[in-house]
């Protein structure tokens, strides 16, 4: 079952942009090459479909002009025909107004906000909605109009409805962290929590403001809090950071202020669903060492409609971007859709026994900005004696932003945090994170901060190894120890171009202007394989190997194990600054100019061409 593997959602990390870049790089052609590289500095990358869309939009606006003309004609004729009977006149007016209603000029035909929403908005309304969308990454204009207590689809499996829970559940503190969230979105989260949590367990809602600059989150929010507290005395608390401290620290701030038995640490752009809290509280009451995650549905950033998500477990790749993995067979064999599912990781939002969370070190305050803190907590929980479970009957609707307005490039923070996680928790497998990020193992130039107190915590808690975690909790992730050289691969004939996986889908490697994205990652193994493209290193997916197809002069990229099975030739001799030679035929991978004067990779009798690879492991290839 593949579910939505490799479709990580913005919940854990705002990687829409990264995915877009990767997809785009997959699609590029010689023509888009330069504009693409230049375009990378811009937020909105030009999509290949844009030109086609442009043509359609032009035709539509032509249609609008014609309709406008028709409308004018109708008005004019109505004025002129004084003896027109009233019924007819009204009918025509209705038509005219409908025409006007439906065919306001689309001011932002390329904006994702208006793809499925915004029909009939006046130009001023469109402008306002678009401005708010740019600023927040979701449809604040619509959010401000939707009722705070709106009903959302109950997405639970019907068997959840039959569950009963003890009347003596532990008490709950809900922590909502935010930074420049829209006020109506925060209020809707609060309203859903108040309306859908049994009042006898809901002890408090703690808002943590990570130094927002939005005016509406100051006095207007304070007023709302006062209003809620008049109705529900003491329920709402707010803590404001006086400087930006990042996600992990904000969650810690909330935890420090919490007083209930259980803490649920959530984002503020959520709406909890019916009976979300009972399964969480009951499970933690049973076992205080379990960290639980609800199942997330998506609130569409444009329509605010609820999109139901299937059940999956939360995983991550070697870059520590989150992703979904398929459900374990052991769980499927239970045939109980309500049973907790063991999960290697959490997406970010979770609930825990307040004191147990403290005993294992809450969140690593050394994690900066955003990203990676969820994996750090997950490894710590599993390695230090706890567990993580997803509770199918607890569902939270989460608003996935279209874009993160406040962080241009989250990958910088994630990369840094990922190295920190690797150094604290991953032992002899930590190099995998460096490899995936294409960072040198020594002198990376990336400051991941002081890790001594976290290492001391690991000692104190007598935590297990990462190898134990991989074998027992997350066997999908596959460490590789045969890689000896990695990074950009250049032929000394022209060092401005790099070996590149070429168009995706496809299997023709190319030489392309060097850039910093994963399609140009190359990994050379001591055993002779060259992986080209992003390093996935999972048991159920596959790297692509540079292959000699056996005929012709063009090398190809083939799934490695399939190529090996089919007797294709994927083993090469290579030494840093040396030739890339077929172990059997002694043919070489070289580059040559095609008829258009562009260098292409070819397989030919060796001349004197030599290659370089960016990073080496230990002293491989030094002679």
Ligand X SMILES: *[C@@H]1O[C@H](CO)[C@@H](O)[C@H](O)[C@H]1NC(C)=O
The residues of the shown chain that bind ligand X, judged by CB under 6 A, are: 147, 149, 151, 548, 550, 569, 572, 582, 584-585, 587
* C-beta closer to Mn ion: residue 270 or 422: 270
164: region left, alpha or beta (phi > 0 left; psi from -120 to 50 alpha) = beta
How far apart are alpha carbons 99 and 509 in whole angstroms?
53
Query: Residue written as tokens 């593997």?
Result: 5
Task: Give the helix ranges, DSSP H, for 10-82.
Answer: 16-27, 33-39, 50-80
Query: Using CB distances below 5 to 8 A depending on partner kind, what does residue 200 bind out of Mn ion, ligand X, none?
Result: none
> Which two tokens mark 320?
């520590």
Nearest approach in angstroms of CB 270 to Mn ion is 7
* C-beta closer to ligand X: residue 136 or 569: 569
Q: Which residue minimizes CB distance to Mn ion?
A: 267
Query: Using CB distances below 5 to 8 A depending on partner kind, what does residue 151 bind out of ligand X, Mn ion, none?
Result: ligand X
Query: Using CB distances below 5 to 8 A depending on partner kind, what does residue 548 bind out of ligand X, Mn ion, none?
Result: ligand X
Is omega for the bond preceding 265 within 30 degrees of 0, making it cis?
Answer: no
Query: Using CB distances below 5 to 8 A depending on partner kind, what does residue 117 bind out of Mn ion, ligand X, none?
Result: none
Nearest approach in angstroms of CB 576 to ligand X is 19
Give the gyration radius of the chain's Cα atoms.
28
Nearest approach in angstroms of CB 569 to ligand X is 3
* C-beta closer to Mn ion: residue 371 or 533: 371
As a three-state string, the secondary structure of 436-462 is HHCCCCCCCCCCCCCCHHHHHHHHHCC
Nearest approach in angstroms of CB 547 to ligand X is 6
Alpha-carbon distances, residue 435 vs 287, 419, 427, 488 (angstroms): 38, 11, 15, 12
Nearest approach in angstroms of CB 572 to ligand X is 6
Nearest approach in angstroms of CB 557 to ligand X is 12
How far apart are alpha carbons 138 and 73 in whole angstroms?
39
Query: Using CB distances below 5 to 8 A depending on partner kind, what does residue 584 bind out of Mn ion, ligand X, none?
Result: ligand X
* C-beta closer to ligand X: residue 523 or 572: 572
Strands 522-525, 483-491: parallel, antiparallel or unpaired by DSSP?
A: antiparallel
Strand partners, 388: 291
* C-beta closer to ligand X: residue 78 or 568: 568
Q: Which residue minimizes CB distance to ligand X?
A: 569
What is the SS3 assignment for 81? coil
* C-beta closer to Mn ion: residue 138 or 141: 138
Binding site for Mn ion (CB under 5 A): 11, 267
Nearest approach in angstroms of CB 559 to ligand X is 15
DSSP 474: -
Nearest approach in angstroms of CB 201 to ligand X is 20
Query: Using CB distances below 5 to 8 A depending on partner kind, what does residue 577 bind out of Mn ion, ligand X, none?
Result: none
522 neighbors 488 (Cβ within 8 angstroms): yes
As a dihedral over the C-alpha atoms of residue 59, residue 64, residue 67, residue 71, rounded to 10 degrees, the angle is -170
Query: Using CB distances below 5 to 8 A depending on partner kind, what does residue 368 bind out of ligand X, Mn ion, none?
Result: none
As a dihedral over the C-alpha atoms of residue 157, residue 159, residue 164, residue 169, rounded to 10 degrees, the angle is -30
400 neighbors 10 (Cβ within 8 angstroms): yes
Query: Using CB distances below 5 to 8 A depending on partner kind, what does residue 350 bind out of ligand X, Mn ion, none?
Result: none
What is the SS3 assignment for 71? helix
* C-beta closer to ligand X: residue 120 or 550: 550
Nearest approach in angstroms of CB 209 to Mn ion is 15
* C-beta closer to ligand X: residue 147 or 445: 147
Nearest approach in angstroms of CB 150 to ligand X is 6
Query: Using CB distances below 5 to 8 A depending on partner kind, what does residue 267 bind out of ligand X, Mn ion, none?
Result: Mn ion
The DSSP element (H or E) to which 362 belongs, if any, is: none
* C-beta closer to ligand X: residue 228 or 406: 228
Query: Using CB distances below 5 to 8 A depending on partner kind, what does residue 147 bind out of Mn ion, ligand X, none?
Result: ligand X
* C-beta closer to ligand X: residue 255 or 574: 574
How far apart are alpha carbons 462 and 402 in whole angstroms?
42
> Which two tokens mark 327?
């459900």
């Amino acid at each position: 079952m593949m579910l939505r593997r490799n479709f990580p959602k913005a919940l854990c990390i705002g990687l829409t942009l990264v995915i877009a870049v990767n997809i785009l790089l997959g699609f590029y052609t010689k023509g888009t090459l330069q504009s693409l590289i230049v375009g990378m500095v811009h937020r909105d990358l030009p999509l290949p479909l844009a030109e086609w869309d442009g043509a359609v939009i032009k035709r539509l606006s032509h249609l609008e002009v014609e309709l406008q003309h028709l409308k004018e004609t109708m008005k004019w004729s109505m004025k002129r025909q004084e003896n027109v009977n009233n019924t007819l006149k009204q009918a025509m007016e209705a038509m005219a107004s409908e025409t006007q209603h439906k065919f306001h000029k689309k001011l932002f035909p390329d904006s994702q906000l208006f793809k499925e929403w915004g029909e009939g908005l006046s130009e001023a309304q469109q402008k306002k909605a678009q401005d708010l969308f740019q600023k927040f990454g979701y449809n604040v204009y619509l959010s401000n109009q939707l009722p705070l207590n709106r009903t959302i689809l109950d997405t639970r499996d019907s068997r959840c409805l039959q569950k009963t829970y003890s009347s003596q559940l532990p008490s709950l503190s809900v922590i909502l962290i935010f930074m420049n969230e829209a006020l109506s979105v925060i209020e809707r989260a609060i309203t859903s929590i108040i309306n859908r949590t049994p009042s006898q367990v809901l002890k408090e809602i703690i808002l943590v403001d990570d130094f927002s600059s939005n005016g509406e989150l100051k006095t207007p929010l304070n007023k709302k809090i006062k209003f809620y507290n008049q109705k529900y005395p003491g329920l709402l608390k707010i803590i404001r950071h006086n400087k930006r401290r990042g996600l992990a620290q904000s969650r810690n701030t909330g935890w420090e202020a919490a007083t209930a038995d259980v803490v649920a640490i959530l984002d503020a752009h959520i709406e909890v669903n019916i009976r979300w809290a009972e399964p969480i509280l009951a499970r933690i009451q049973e076992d205080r060492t379990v960290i639980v995650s609800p199942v997330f549905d998506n609130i569409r950033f444009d329509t605010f409609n609820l999109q139901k998500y299937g059940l999956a477990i939360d995983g991550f790749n070697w870059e520590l971007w989150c992703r979904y993995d398929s459900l374990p067979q052991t769980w499927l064999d239970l045939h109980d859709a309500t049973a907790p599912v063991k999960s290697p990781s959490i997406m970010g939002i979770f609930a825990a026994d307040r004191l147990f969370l403290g005993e294992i070190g809450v969140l690593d305050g050394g994690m900066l900005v955003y990203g990676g803190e969820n994996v750090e907590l997950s490894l710590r929980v599993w390695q230090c004696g706890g567990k993580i479970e997803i509770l199918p009957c607890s569902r939270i609707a989460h608003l996935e932003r279209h874009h993160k307005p406040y962080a241009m490039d989250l990958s910088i923070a994630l990369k840094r945090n990922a190295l920190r996680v690797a150094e604290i928790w991953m032992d002899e497998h930590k190099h995998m994170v460096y490899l995936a990020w294409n960072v040198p193992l020594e002198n990376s130039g990336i400051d991941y901060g002081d890790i001594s107190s976290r290492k001391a915590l690991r000692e104190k808690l007598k935590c297990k190894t990462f190898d134990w975690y991989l074998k027992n909790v997350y066997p999908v992730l596959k460490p590789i120890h045969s890689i000896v050289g990695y990074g950009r691969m250049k032929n000394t004939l022209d060092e401005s171009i790099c070996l590149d996986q070429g168009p995706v889908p496809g299997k023709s490697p190319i030489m392309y202007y060097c850039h910093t994205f994963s399609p140009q990652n190359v990994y050379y193994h001591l055993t002779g394989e060259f992986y080209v493209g992003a390093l996935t290193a999972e048991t159920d997916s596959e790297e692509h190997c540079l292959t000699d197809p056996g005929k012709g002069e063009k090398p190809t990229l083939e799934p490695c194990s399939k190529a090996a099975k089919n007797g294709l030739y994927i083993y090469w001799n290579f030494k840093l600054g040396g030739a890339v030679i077929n172990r059997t035929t002694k043919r070489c991978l070289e580059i040559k100019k095609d008829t258009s004067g562009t260098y292409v990779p070819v397989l030919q009798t060796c001349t004197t061409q030599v290659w370089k690879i960016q990073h080496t492991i230990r002293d491989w290839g030094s002679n």
